[in-house]
């Protein structure tokens, strides 16, 4: 028996990195998971590799009604929805005086607007069952976990757009928590520090992703990578699995009375290093 048996989860951006590690943990403990990624081939490969019961929704969640289609995939595949992890994201770095309108808007779109639209699309499937359960005198907890960053809490040079997006998702989290607590939907966020993913790998030519046909450079300068060990009391960055552990806690029954909170997963570091 798993603690998440029969639970259905959506994890956005779950073909790689923290998202994949989160999906693996949820499946390990009994959940059925919708895998999502921009790259459909990678999403299908991940679903085949991690085992368990999965469905796949590929596509850009910032486009059209993709968030609604994502939620519909969960309902059509498994008949219900219990857990949402809004994890998808990336960075576009530039100092404020060189930051374009497009790069500013892209970060707000993926880090704030997409979580909002996914949550809104999921509302009937999270709120309506709770009304019936309340009439029956039962408490059934459902979970939303939004992914923020220490950059959203403390800022980080060259990342005004990313910081604004990650700060915005904290405000979204706390507001939905106030609105949906009566329906026993736990709404929380995690703020990651330095996690070993594509976003914190070295900024080299081959560390890129493609969005709308454009190559987007990922990674951070090697000098900043070298500083991480000195800034983190535990002496190193987190693995994706370690980062996913905090998300799993907020998806589990052990977090039923944790609500409207931001869990810092930083190894003790407090400052603006980026996930």
Q: What is the DSSP string of 4-62?
A: TTT-EEEETT-SSHHHHHHHHHHHHTT-EEEEEES-HHHHHHHHHHH-SSEEEEES-TT
Does the predicted TM-score (pTM) go above 0.85?
yes
* pLDDT per position as a tens digit, 62-102: 999 999 999 999 999 999 999 999 999 999 999 999 999 99
Per-residue pLDDT band for 227 (boundaries 50, 70, 90) equals: low
For residue 101, CA distances in Å to 98, 116, 161, 268 come to 10, 21, 10, 34
User: What is the structure's pLDDT at 196?
Assistant: 77
The total number of residues shown for the chain amounts to 275
Q: What is the DSSP secondary structure assignment for residue 202, as one 8-state letter?
A: B
Asked if 29 and 17 count as a contact pair (C-beta separation under 8 A), the reply is no
Which residue is catalytic, options 57, 78, 162, 183? 162
User: What is the structure's pLDDT at 203?
Assistant: 52
User: What is the structure's pLDDT at 274?
Assistant: 45
Sort 80 into a burial class: Cβ within 10 Å, 0-12 / 13-18 / 19+: middle
Annotated active-site residue 162? The verdict is yes
Angle at the Cα of 206 from the Cα atoms of 202 and 208, rounded to 5 degrees: 85
Give the whole-angstrom CA distance, residue 101 versus residue 117: 22
Give the whole-angstrom CA distance, residue 170 versus residue 190: 9
Class level of CATH domain 8-193+237-263: alpha beta
Asked if 138 and 180 count as a contact pair (C-beta separation under 8 A), the reply is no
């Amino acid at each position: 028996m798993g603690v998440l048996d029969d639970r259905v989860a959506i994890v956005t951006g779950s073909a790689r990195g923290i998202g994949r590690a989160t999906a693996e943990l949820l499946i390990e403990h009994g959940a059925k998971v919708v895998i999502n990624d921009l790259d459909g081939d990678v999403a299908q490969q991940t679903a085949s590799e991690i085992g368990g019961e999965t469905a796949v929704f590929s596509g850009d969640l910032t486009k059209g009604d993709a968030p609604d289609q994502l939620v519909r995939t969960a309902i059509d595949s498994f008949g219900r929805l219990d857990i949402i992890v809004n994890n998808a994201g990336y960075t576009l770095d530039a100092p404020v005086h060189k930051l374009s309108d497009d790069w500013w808007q892209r970060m707000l779109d993926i880090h704030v607007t997409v979580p909002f639209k996914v949550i809104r699309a999921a509302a009937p499937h999270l709120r309506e069952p709770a009304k019936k359960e309340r009439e029956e005198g039962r408490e059934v907890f459902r979970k939303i976990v939004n992914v923020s960053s220490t950059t959203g809490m403390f800022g980080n040079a060259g990342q005004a757009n990313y910081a604004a997006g990650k700060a915005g998702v904290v405000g979204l989290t706390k507001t939905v928590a106030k609105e949906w607590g009566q329906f026993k939907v736990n709404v929380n966020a995690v703020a990651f520090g330095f996690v070993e993913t594509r976003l914190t790998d070295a900024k080299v030519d081959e560390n890129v992703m493609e969005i709308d046909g454009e190559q987007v450079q990922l990674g951070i300068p090697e000098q900043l990578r070298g500083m991480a060990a000195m800034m983190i009391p535990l002496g190193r960055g987190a693995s994706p699995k370690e980062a996913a552990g905090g998300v799993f806690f907020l998806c589990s029954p052990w977090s039923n009375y944790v609500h409207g909170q931001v869990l810092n997963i930083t190894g003790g570091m407090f400052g603006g290093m980026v996930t």
